[in-house]
Chains A and B, each alone.
Chain A
């Protein structure tokens, strides 16, 4: 976990309590009129997914997430930024990660949350491996994820 001004980054194997995190986020900040949260969930597209394992690069992961959050803070008017990302084994329907942004303005909170998501998809060192029908395969990065960065 890292604590910079208004930035909280958590990388952990254990599940997180979305309700408690959302409740505590920017609590007591009366100057923040807008809070946006996004949650990523393990998705079973084909109906045959047994689970997923997320590998990461300890050390670099926390640094990369902190940098992405700091960049968001520099670009938008944000009072608080939270990024939680899990690693290890996850079952379909489990929460993988969440981001939260708090801003005086709705537009800043939404845009910053999208920016965080776009960047942490392809610039934070996580790799997903899916298990289905007894086989395992690494999830390939999508061209559209890379393309998504160009709008920022």
Chain B
């Protein structure tokens, strides 16, 4: 089981901040493919990966990052702090 978190417009498009998924996805990209196949709102949110950033266990990483042992994956747009 893995916690999947969504922030900012990704959260709005998917319609929830967090869900717990049972997935066998080996990488972030494989998880994205699983999510896209679920429902249109996911396909929309993940239509352009260049507009998204991902963190695994609260560390920024890439879409080809492995998910083995990961507890938490978060998807969000480029950050706008400061």
For chain B, which range describes its interface: under 10, 10 to 19, 20 to 34, or 35 or more residues?
A: 10 to 19
Interface residues, chain B, with chain A CB atoms under 8 Å away: 5, 7-9, 11, 55, 58-60, 74, 76-82
Q: Report whether A124 and B8 are in contact in the complex, using a CB–CB cutoff of 8 Å.
A: no
Given contacts A60-B55, A60-B58, A60-B74, contact A121 B81 (CB under 8 A): yes
Interface residues, chain A, with chain B CB atoms under 8 Å away: 40, 55, 57, 59-60, 63-64, 85, 96-97, 117, 120-129, 138-141, 146
Given contacts A55-B7, A60-B58, A138-B9, contact A127 B74 (CB under 8 A): no
The secondary structure that dominates the A interface is mixed
Q: Report whether B76 and A141 are in contact in the complex, using a CB–CB cutoff of 8 Å.
A: no
- Distance of A63 Cα from B9 Cα, bound (Å): 23
- Distance of A59 Cα from B8 Cα, bound (Å): 16
- Distance of A85 Cα from B79 Cα, bound (Å): 14
- Distance of A127 Cα from B58 Cα, bound (Å): 16
- Distance of A62 Cα from B58 Cα, bound (Å): 10
**Residue from A60, A64, A127 within 8 A of B77 (CB atoms):** A127
Q: Report whether B7 and A96 are in contact in the complex, using a CB–CB cutoff of 8 Å.
A: no
